[in-house]
């Protein structure tokens, strides 16, 4: 039997309108869809109603579906001749373990294709009114994981991030924020550097906390901020007050939905 092809697909950051056209085509043609916890369920409307749905979600600290089991499932379904969409939040190659899954498929001779998606490190700040680069504020931009693989030492080059990068986007770093703050301050990042925490970025219940590197732990103490959350560190955060647009858009949509003319 001919092997089925696996499409490792980026679902985007949360807003269902931000999925790509190619991703929707993959969902429509797939026999099997394996999807993650942070994938917006609305995206499943693009699927073939006869397709098999398999939830592969991993909550922080609770990986009920181990990564190795996902690899095995992708291989098994392909060997059955089925077309598979592996739907992952954001972009599959930006802290999405898409590279690990592609490696596993390649080692078994399984055909696959990567379908990029919009990553939250760019989209969440954009919806918060914060450009990650700007000619007056930031000519460099780095994406960093906010947590380490279990049992492994920290190999992030905090000194170079603190001294050489204008805008730092940190994924899933809320629980590790005290350590992140400590490292950046230790290596010389100014305590007055603006910081934004963006929870559920691009969604209607998006929450944003603006602070500074020195005060952020105190400022979020009673705000119950947890992942999924992007942490943005850099002078570009100052631009939010001038160009924030999403809150106004939400307000306008609310007024229209209630039959009130603006």
Residues involved in catalysis: 36, 58, 172
Number of alpha carbons in the 13 Å side-chain half-sphere of residue 150: 4
CA–CA gap between residue 222 and residue 240 (Å, rounded): 22
Spatial CB neighbours of 14, under 8 Å, sequence gap ≥ 6 = 38, 40, 89, 120, 123, 200, 201, 202, 203, 228
Q: Rounded to a whole number, what is the largest CA-CA distance in the chain?
A: 62
Q: What 3-state class would DSSP assign to 109?
A: coil
Segments in the chain forming alpha helices (H):
21-29, 67-79, 98-107, 120-127, 158-164, 177-186, 216-219, 240-243, 246-257
Q: Which residue has the tokens 């797939």?
A: 30
| Burial of 256 per CB tally in 10 Å (0-12, 13-18, 19+) | exposed
Spatial CB neighbours of 86, under 8 Å, sequence gap ≥ 6 = 6, 7, 8, 9, 34, 70, 74, 92, 98, 101
| CA proximity to 249, closest of 212, 217, 203 | 203
CA–CA gap between residue 2 and residue 17 (Å, rounded): 34
| CA proximity to 66, closest of 27, 22, 97 | 97
């Amino acid at each position: 039997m001919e092997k089925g092809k696996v499409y490792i697909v980026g679902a985007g950051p949360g807003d269902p309108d931000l999925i790509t056209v190619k991703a929707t085509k993959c969902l429509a043609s797939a026999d099997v869809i394996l999807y993650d916890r942070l994938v917006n369920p609305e995206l499943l409307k693009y699927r073939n109603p006869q397709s098999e749905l398999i939830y592969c979600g991993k909550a922080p600290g609770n990986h009920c579906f181990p990564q190795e089991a996902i690899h095995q499932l992708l291989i098994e379904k392909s060997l059955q001749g089925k077309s598979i969409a592996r739907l992952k939040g954001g972009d599959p190659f930006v802290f999405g373990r898409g590279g690990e899954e592609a490696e596993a498929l390649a080692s078994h001779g399984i055909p696959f294709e990567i379908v990029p998606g919009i990553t939250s490190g760019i989209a969440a700040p954009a919806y918060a009114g914060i450009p990650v680069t700007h000619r007056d504020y930031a000519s460099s931009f780095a994406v960093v994981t906010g947590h380490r693989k279990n049992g492994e030492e920290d190999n992030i080059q905090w000194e170079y991030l603190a001294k050489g990068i204008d805008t730092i986007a940190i994924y899933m770093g809320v629980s590790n924020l005290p350590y992140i703050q400590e490292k950046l301050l230790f290596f010389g990042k100014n305590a007055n550097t603006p910081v934004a925490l963006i929870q559920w970025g691009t969604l209607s219940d998006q929450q944003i906390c603006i602070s500074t590197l020195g005060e952020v732990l105190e400022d979020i103490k009673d705000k119950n901020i947890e992942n999924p959350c992007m942490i943005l560190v850099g002078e570009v955060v100052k631009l939010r007050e001038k160009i924030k647009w999403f809150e106004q858009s939400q307000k306008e949509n609310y007024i229209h939905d209630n039959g009130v003319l603006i």
